[in-house]
């Protein structure tokens, strides 16, 4: 039983065969999926998918790279979307310093505002953090984001930073990168983090694991990630699947 805690099935990469693919997931052991919004329109699309499929839930949020689109008016719209009964988190939100736009001050402001929204709605957060480890941790602390909890998705930092996020009560999202030969840092983090604080994710259509690296990703590839995590931790793959499934249900409060 696998829980894909971070997918983007609204992406145009799935336009050709979305329904066929999604219908095939449960019979292939993918029992829960959270489709994550990255801006207002993909949040709307995520909710539409969650309405269409029982096993799909949604996260409502604006990615740091899209945070320039936020205004007071459409922030209210985001808040109303977040109240939908199948929305289980605010995300993905955070900081992305790999890109110069939008300005860091803009990214920080809307990250903080969306953390406050999560707390107001009683939802956890899905955090996107790239080349911004220290500022991400500082804002999570300043905004008391531990009260919301959530996932540091596509975790890309080292064990030192992992400790900081784990100490705040966050889960680490791990996906296809774990299977890459050169992913030494992430393999160390996977060995270091307790199994009850790791969740599996695809970030599909991106980040397909070996042996499908470079191809379109989907939840069907997650057994490769679970297998690699099992090898690193010396734990059977079915135990990895079971533990990460329960972790996902606990943190998204899907009972
Ligand atoms: Ni994502």
Give CA torsion, residues 157, 161, 166, 172, to 10 deg.
0
Taken in order 56, 247, 82, 45, the sign of the CA dihedral is negative
Per-residue pLDDT of the chain (255 residues; tens, 9 = 90+): 999 999 999 999 999 999 999 999 999 999 999 999 999 999 999 999 999 999 999 999 999 999 999 999 999 999 999 999 999 999 999 999 999 999 999 999 999 999 999 999 999 999 999 999 999 999 999 999 999 999 999 999 999 999 999 999 999 999 999 999 999 999 999 999 999 999 999 999 999 999 999 999 999 999 999 999 999 999 999 999 999 999 999 999 998
**Cα distance from N-terminal residue to C-terminal residue, the chain:** 15
**How far is ligand 1, taken at its centre, from the CA of residue 172, in Å?**
14
Q: Facing residues of 171 across strands?
A: 151
**How far is ligand 1, taken at its centre, from the CA of residue 11, in Å?**
11
Q: In which residue are the tokens 């069907």 written?
A: 220
**How far is ligand 1, taken at its centre, from the CA of residue 204, in Å?**
8
User: In the chain, at which residue ranges do the beta strands (DSSP E only) sit?
Assistant: 2-7, 30-36, 56-60, 87-96, 125-130, 150-153, 171-174, 198-200
Ion ligand 1: residues, CB within 5 A, are 203
**How far is ligand 1, taken at its centre, from the CA of residue 120, in Å?**
23
Instruction: Kindly report the pTM of this predicted structure.
Output: 0.98
| Coil, helix or strand at residue 4 | strand
**How far is ligand 1, taken at its centre, from the CA of residue 129, in Å?**
11
**How far is ligand 1, taken at its centre, from the CA of residue 124, in Å?**
16
**How far is ligand 1, taken at its centre, from the CA of residue 196, in Å?**
22
How many Cα atoms sit within 13 Å of 163 on the Cβ side?
A: 4
How many other CB atoms sit within 10 Å of the CB of residue 251? 21
- φ/ψ region of 90 (left if φ > 0, alpha if ψ in -120 to 50, else beta) reads beta
């Amino acid at each position: 039983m696998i829980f894909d805690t971070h997918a983007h099935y609204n992406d145009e990469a799935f336009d050709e065969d979305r329904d066929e693919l999604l219908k095939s997931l449960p019979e292939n052991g993918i029992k829960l999926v959270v489709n994550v919004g990255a801006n207002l329109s993909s949040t709307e699309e995520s909710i539409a998918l969650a309405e269409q499929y029982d096993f799909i839930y949604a996260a409502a949020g604006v990615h740091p790279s899209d945070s320039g689109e936020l205004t007071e008016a459409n922030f209210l719209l985001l808040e109303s979307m977040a109240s939908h009964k199948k929305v289980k988190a605010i995300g993905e939100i955070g900081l992305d310093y790999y890109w110069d736009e939008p300005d860091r001050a803009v990214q920080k402001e809307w990250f903080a505002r969306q953390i406050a929204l999560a707390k107001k709605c009683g939802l956890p957060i899905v955090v996107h953090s790239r080349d911004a480890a220290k500022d991400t941790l500082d804002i999570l602390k300043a905004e008391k984001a531990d009260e919301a909890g959530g996932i540091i998705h596509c975790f890309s930092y080292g064990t030192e930073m992992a400790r900081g996020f784990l100490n705040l009560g966050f889960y680490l999202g791990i996906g296809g990168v774990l299977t890459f030969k050169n992913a030494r840092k992430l393999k160390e983090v996977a060995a270091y983090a307790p199994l009850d604080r790791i969740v599996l994710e695809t970030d599909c259509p991106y980040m397909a694991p070996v042996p499908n690296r470079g191809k379109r990703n989907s939840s069907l590839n997650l057994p490769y990630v679970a297998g690699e995590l099992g090898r690193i931790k010396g734990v059977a793959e079915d135990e990895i699947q079971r533990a990460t499934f329960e972790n996902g249900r606990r943190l998204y409060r899907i009972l």
